[in-house]
Amino acid sequence: MMVSLNDFKNIALIKINYRCNQDCIFCHEDLINLYDFIELRIIENYWDAFDDYKIDTVLLSGGEPLYDFNSFLKIVSYFKKRGLKIILITNGTLLNYNRIAQINKMIDLVYLSIHSFNPRLDYKLTSKNFLKTKLINLELLLKLEVPVILRRLVFKDNYSTIDNEISYIFNKYKGIEHFWFELGILENKGKKLRANYKYMFLNNYEILKIINSLFFKFPNVKILIDNIPKELLSEKYQQFIDPISEKFRLRVELNNVGEYVLERVKV
Ligand code: SF4
């Protein structure tokens, strides 16, 4: 099982469906629950671009990619047949032991999103009571040695508990090689978030304070950052930047009229 994040070289981000079983107040997707799974023939249109960009990894996102597990398995085996590595982004609610055992041999890395460890806040953020399930699935993934990045957005409502959560998590999973914790700075993306939740965003001063304090308090645990504002990017933080997000070469996703389009990402 691969454990180095640097082994993923050239990545295509593919939004494979737009169905989701959560209703997060910070959802960045405006098309949630409007569209079904991507048809595989659409991907066939893009194989040339995959070759041009030497794509070796697909990052499967959504919606919730596991919303229809059988369609998900079909898509994964399709990419596996092309020899591609697979990264999955999931909200972690639709996994169980059997499913993890099934995907274990096919998936190279899982981003599991848990944005608060407090059940009440988790409910407020996602409109669902799935926290327990997500935590059990995190445990199962690690037990079955699936490499995991525990992804946590940072915003006004949930940043005060980060220290306690990191201590708890890294004490619990001490010594596990294939485990990282990621702080995703909340982006101003998606109509829902822009219209209703402006108060959630942290300013640059607050972001810097959080990051500095974390790296001072936890110098030896594997913490990554994603979406750090460009103006805050200094030498000091370079080593913490999530190497995956640096390597997107192509994106395949729906446009605002519901057609799948391929975008080439400049490098
Ligand atoms: S889990 Fe992801 S896709 Fe689903 S509602 Fe939440 S942010 Fe949107």
pLDDT of residue 54: 97
Residue nearest to atom 3 of ligand 1 (CA): 63
pLDDT of residue 228: 87
Tell me the pLDDT of the chain averaged across its residues. 91
Average pLDDT over residues 115-121: 93
Q: Which domain holds residue 140?
A: 5-264
Percentages of the chain per state (helix, strand, coil), in multiples of 5: 40, 20, 40
CA 102 to centroid of ligand 1, rounded, Å: 23
Residue type, 264: R
Residue nearest to atom 7 of ligand 1 (CA): 27
DSSP structural state of residue 89:
E
- In the numeric block, which tokens belong to residue 35? 């569209």
DSSP structural state of residue 201:
P
On the CB side of 245, how many CA atoms lie within 13 Å of its CA? 17
DSSP structural state of residue 231:
G
CA 25 to centroid of ligand 1, rounded, Å: 9
CA 22 to centroid of ligand 1, rounded, Å: 6
Burial of 201 (0-12, 13-18, 19+ CB in 10 A): middle
Residue type, 76: V
Q: Which ligand 1 atom is the nearest neighbour of the CA of 29? A: 8
Residue nearest to atom 6 of ligand 1 (CA): 24
Question: Is 21 within 8 Å of 94 (Cβ atoms)?
Answer: yes
Beta-bridge mates of residue 226: 184
pTM (two decimals): 0.94
By three-state DSSP, how is residue 9 classified?
coil
pLDDT of residue 1: 58
pLDDT of residue 15: 96
pLDDT of residue 196: 66
pLDDT of residue 2: 58
Residue 236 has pLDDT above 90, yes or no: no
CA 52 to centroid of ligand 1, rounded, Å: 31
Ligand 1 pocket (Cβ < 6 Å) reads: 20, 22-24, 27, 29, 32, 62-64, 91
Mutation test residue for ligand 1: of 64, 94, 155, the one with most atoms within 8 Å of CB: 64
CA 64 to centroid of ligand 1, rounded, Å: 7
Q: Which ligand 1 atom is the nearest neighbour of the CA of 63? A: 3
The total number of structural domains that make up the chain:
1
Residue 26 has pLDDT above 80, yes or no: yes
Instruction: At 253, give phi and psi (nearest 5°).
Output: -155, 170
Output the domain CATH number for residue 190.
3.20.20.70
Instruction: At 15, give phi and psi (nearest 5°).
Output: -85, 105
Average pLDDT over residues 234-263: 90
Cα separation, 161 vs 140, in Å, equals 24
pLDDT tens-digit series, residues 148-180: 999 999 988 888 889 999 999 999 988 899 999
pLDDT tens-digit series, residues 176-220: 999 999 999 887 777 777 676 777 888 899 999 998 888 889 888
Average pLDDT over residues 83-96: 98
Q: What angle do CA 13, 18, 20 make, to 5 degrees?
A: 115
By three-state DSSP, how is residue 59 classified?
strand
Mutation test residue for ligand 1: of 17, 21, 27, the one with most atoms within 8 Å of CB: 27
